Structure 1
Amino acid sequence: MENEEVSWTICQECKGRGKKSRGLSNKVKLHYQMALDQFEKTKDKGTPPIRPKGHQHSCLNCSGSGLLRSASPPVADKENYPHVAIIGGGIGGVALAVACLHRGIPFTLYERDTNFEARSQGYGLTLQQASKAIEGLGIFSLEEGVISTRHLVHTTAGKVIGEWGIRKWIPSDAKTFQKRTNIHISRQSLRLALLKQLGGQDAVHWGHQLVDFKESEGDAINLRFQVNGEMKSYKADLVVGADGIRSSVRRLLIGEDISPLRYLGCIVILGICPLSALEGITSPLLDSATVFQTANGNERMYMMPYTSDSVMWQLSFPMPEEEAKALSAQGPQALKEEACLRTQWHNPIPQILAATLEAQISGYPVYDRELLKSELLAKEGKVTLIGDAAHPMSPFKGQGANQALLDALTLARGISRGCRAASQWRKAGVRESVLNEFESEMLERSASKVKDSAEAAQFLHSEIVLHEGDEPRGRCLKKKDT
């Protein structure tokens, strides 16, 4: 399906989950009942058997998206669902708003920036697992998305020491294999596509800086924001922090001392270069379908298609934290000079960096945080976190936006399931009805991504990156571990 001016509602056959259970076979049911009977005969000694779950299969009614076309968006069901205050209008926050809209869950989306263009979020991301998740958000094609079909690894002299992707194994038209490829897109393009689902940018409460929140009478949460120098108050039944690695919601919820920012020992410099700026330069690496990286065991350059006619580059290298902060603070000119100085390597890397405008360059030290424990989130019953606010990670595995999208869709589905009309969730509480299960799944799913991303910050700037082999860097480490 192509994107159109269309509204969506959840598929009633799968309840918006995109999957349906096949149920349990009689044999499985019998085995479970026998184990349960045996457990009860021992007068509840030992471990009770776990009730088996039926295998999931894609819902045919909605082709696995969980959505069906609708004449108009569902009307928010304020009587049965909690009102959700979403703090942060980035990828994760807007995705959650979209998923709530489709399910008739009332929400308000707050963003501290004064408008869409206020802060640069224009650098690129790679949709991996989330390629399927965006269909669950009503986006069936990304007009600005670029599909890569080849990935190369070079030494600084240009020798290829690794290659993988569809074009290596199955030479063919890339479009035939879209389901098995990564999609590269700018953050702002994806964010805009999500905002379109909400009816445009007016769906966001811009210029709202969260000050604090606390439970008020009647079991609601009272939120206070600074807006144009004034204090404004709002109420909600559930607060979701989607406000990034320096999340205000997280700080208010669990404090900064418990799991502070953790410096990963390197700095990243980013740039975007239009192919039209590279006059007279031809290279098979610039075919808008190739991702390549070049490394020497210290510096590492990663370059991917940004749009069909531009590329994004990411240079990273180890640097003491204070030096990295100082370099970042000096601004684009100093960052560009540092990048050019360190990458007099094979073509077309020097030419691309030289042609990149300073206005399209930024840089920052790389941080993450230690993994959260579920009990830290559970201390505040009606507040939770998603995306970088919950599990920030380094950019080196390309998982930040992917996990945020999955978080958003999973939470909305959890609210829809746990707060349905017959659930009596107000009596049990939204934490018991939704949040405990959601946070357990989110933290378990993202844990390996945080760990792998932190490890990548180390091995991508070491001799390991020069390992020869047609596989992603670091996979050789996993083989040694096993």
Structure 2
Amino acid sequence: MKNKDDKWAVCPVCQGRGKKSKGLRKKVRLRYQRELAQFEKTNSEGTAPVRPKGHLDSCLNCKGSGLIPSAQPPLADKENYPHLAIIGGGIGGVALAVACLHRGIPFTLYERDSGFDIRSQGYGLTLQQASRAIEGLGIVSLAAGVISTRHVVHTTEGSVIGEWGRRKLGLPDEKISAKRTNVHIARQALRLALLEQLGGHDAVQWRHQLVGFNECEGEGVDLSFQVEGKIKHANADLVVGADGIRSSVRRLLIGEEASPLCYLGCIVILGICPLEAIEDNEGLDRSLLDSATVFQTANGNERIYIMPYTSNSVMWQLSFPMSEKQAKALSARGAQALKLEACRRCQWHDPIPQILAATQEDKISGYPVYDRAPIEAEWLARGAKVTLIGDAAHPMSPFKGQGANQALLDALALARGIKKACRPLSQWRKTGLRETVLTEFESEMLQRSGTKVKDSAEAAQFLHSDVVLHEGDEPRGRCLKKKL
């Protein structure tokens, strides 16, 4: 089944949630009733008992995706649902547009770039929690995705100090839960698969740089864009900033001073290398280059992480501590300087030197690593008709591989929230989108992503320390949590 040939609509059984409530168990319901009766007897003194929620099971009708095949996607319901202005055409923004399409929620997707391939959208990413969430976006298969079954950690001499994965456990494929499968895919390949759900590149309003917005009481939000040197205006009921770590929507909403960029003390150099370009020197062991193995090597300062990028190429990520000034200078010197620095620092075990040497300079980039302090709910509450998702809301370091995963989960959660709360007769226009949708959505998003931001920042530290050399068949850093 090809994704681009599929049309989807919301599952009528679960209303697009992918789950059905089984209701409260009798024991739980009776306990709540007793606690509530006792609370009322004491003239409402103390804290009122919280009504428990029913257990959620995967919807059998849609197999948990929230979608069913349809001859055509539903028409946008402009009468009942708010019109979204989605700012940013990266992974999170396109995913939100797709989730809205399936639910009949009207939207316009704006992107400042002039086209799909104009600006680098990153290299590879690993779908972890979101490997199941993409089914809720109508992607039933990822032809470009590669599944890893082994993860190995080495010293610089090549000694194995950690190994895990299904091959380590000797488990057959059918014994592996889909929730625990890591899918590696090029960021642009996933972005293209999502765009195909929208009908292609024409679904994006390219060359639209947001320069301002103004919330108008009772009349939505007026947006101003710079388009090819001219100012263009648009209107929407809800503005969603999906425009990355340097988000214009975030800056206009809460300002830069509230939560400025925070340098995490290291630089990352990235590269993509075709397997066929790696020379077969005599005695070169290619067991790490089987397109199903992730491996990393570290010395307590530098650390390189190498994963499948496609079925016939790998992506490498070298990182090491450096002052912000030096990191900016090195990045500005370009790909040739970055490659020389990587080769100089990584004269380690095979096949690392061979991979670095075979990587073409046009496939290399580098940048200082930043995040931001966790956003406060009251900051977001400044916008009655504005919210943020993805890196615009919770930017994080790449060392836990969570940025794209959280953006996909954000997009699906927001679309599902709008579908549920803005149904006909909901009176959302009178009540307001903040009370109807945004406060609940943001609370869940910030709680879910907050630990990921923290863990990713901590990883930027311990992956460049002796902790990474801990001997154990487990992800690096887990030993720290055990101690804590």
TM-score for both structures, normalised by structure 1: 0.98
> How do 1:137-156 and structure 2 match up within 5 A?
137-156=137-156
The answer for the alignment partner of 1:331 in structure 2 is 334
Asked if the contact 2:243–2:392 (Cα under 8 Å) also holds between the matched residues in 1, the reply is yes
Give the aligned CA root-mean-square deviation in angstroms: 1.1
In structure 1, the partner of 2:440 is: 437
* Separation of aligned partners in 2, 1:65 and 1:214: 36
Q: Deviations over 1:59-92 (max 9, x none)?
A: 0000000000111010000000000000000000
* In 2: Cα distance, 1:218 partner to 1:426 partner: 8
Give the Å deviation of 1:222: 0.3
The one-letter code of the counterpart of 2:159 is K
Residues 3 and 193 in structure 2, CA contact (< 8 A), matched pair in contact too: no
Give the CA deviation at 1:171.
4.7
Structure 2 regions of 5+ residues with no counterpart?
none
CA offset at residue 421 of structure 1? 0.6
Shift of 1:177: 3.5
AA at the equivalent of 2:378:
E
- Aligned-pair CA distance for 1:405: 0.1
1:461 aligns with 2:459: no
For residues 144 and 328 of structure 1, the distance between their equivalents in structure 2, rounded to whole angstroms, comes to 29
User: What is the SS of the residue equivalent to 1:219?
Assistant: coil
Distance in 1 between residues matched to 2:447 and 2:123, nearest whole Å:
28
Distance 2:143 2:264 in 1: 35
Amino acid of the structure 2 residue aligned with 1:57 = D
Structure 1, gaps ≥5 residues long: none
| 1:100 aligned residue | 100
CA distance in 1, matches of 2:59, 2:52: 20
User: Residue by residue, what CA displacement relative to the aligned partner does 1:131-158 show, whole Å, maximum 9, x if unpaired?
Assistant: 0100000001100000000000000000
Mapped contact 2:285–2:350 kept (Cα < 8 A)? no
**Corresponding residue for 1:35?**
35
The separation in 1 between residues aligned to 2:30 and 2:174, in whole angstroms, is: 47
CA distance in 2, matches of 1:201, 1:95: 14
Displacement of 1:122: 4.6
Please point out which of 387, 398, 404 is paired with 1:401.
404
Count of residue pairs the alignment pairs up: 480
CA distance in 2, matches of 1:217, 1:365: 41
Matched, 1:471 2:474: yes
What does the per-residue CA deviation read over 1:388-408, in whole Å, with 9 as the maximum and x for residues that have no partner?
000000000000000000000
Instruction: State the partner residue of 1:286.
Output: 289
List, as ranges, runs of 4+ consecutive aligned residues in structure 1 with deviation greater than 4 Å: none
Matched residue SS, 1:12: coil
Aligned residue for 1:163, secondary structure, equals: strand
Q: Is the 8 A contact 1:254 1:377 kept in 2?
A: yes
Deviation at 1:44, TM superposition (A): 1.0
Relative to 1, partners in 2 of residues 1:306 and 1:175: Cα closer, same or farther, differing over 3 Å?
farther
Question: Does the alignment pair 1:387 with 2:390?
Answer: yes
Distance 1:29 1:340 in 2: 64
Identity over aligned residues, as a percent? 74
**Structure 1, 2-11 or 371-380: larger mean CA deviation:** 2-11
C-alpha contact 2:268 2:369 (8 A) present in aligned 1: yes
Q: Which residue of 1 aligns with 2:277?
A: 277
1:404-440 alpha-carbon deviations (Å, 9 max, x no partner):
0000000000000111112100010000000000000
TM-score, normalising length from structure 2?
0.98
Partner residue, 1:374: 377
Q: Name which of 365, 368, 372 aligns with 1:365.
A: 368
- Cα offset, 1:216, TM superposition: 3.0
Q: Partners in 2 of 1:104 and 1:346 — Cα distance?
A: 54
Q: Which residue of the partner structure matches residue 302 of structure 1?
A: 305
Task: Report the Cα offset of residue 4 of structure 1.
Answer: 5.5
C-alpha separation in 1, matches of 2:216 and 2:38: 49
Question: What's the offset of the Cα at 1:218?
Answer: 3.8
Displacement of 1:2 after TM fit? 5.8
One-letter amino acid of the structure 2 residue matched with residue 28 of structure 1: V
Moved more, 262-271 or 27-36: 27-36
Deviations 1:183-223, CA, capped at 9 Å, x for gaps: 00000000000000000010000000000000236421000
Residue 64 (structure 2) aligns with = 64
Please state how far the C-alpha of 1:41 moved relative to its aligned partner.
1.1
Task: Answer yes or no: is the 8 Å Cα contact 1:147–1:178 preserved in 2.
Answer: no
CA apart distance, 1:37: 1.1
Provide the rounded CA distance (Å) in 1 between the counterparts of 2:168 and 2:470: 19
Q: Does 1:319 align with 2:288?
A: no
CA deviation profile, 1:156-189 (whole Å, cap 9, x unmatched) = 00000000000000254x5764723200000000
CA distance in 2 between partners of 1:192 and 1:384 (Å) = 25
- Mapped contact 2:4–2:196 kept (Cα < 8 A): no
TM-superposed deviation, 1:6: 1.5
- The amino acid across from 1:362 in the alignment is S
Per the TM alignment, residue 357 of structure 1 is displaced from its structure 2 partner at its CA by 0.3
Which residue in the other structure is 1:415 paired with?
418
C-alpha distance in 1 between matches for 2:86 and 2:184: 26
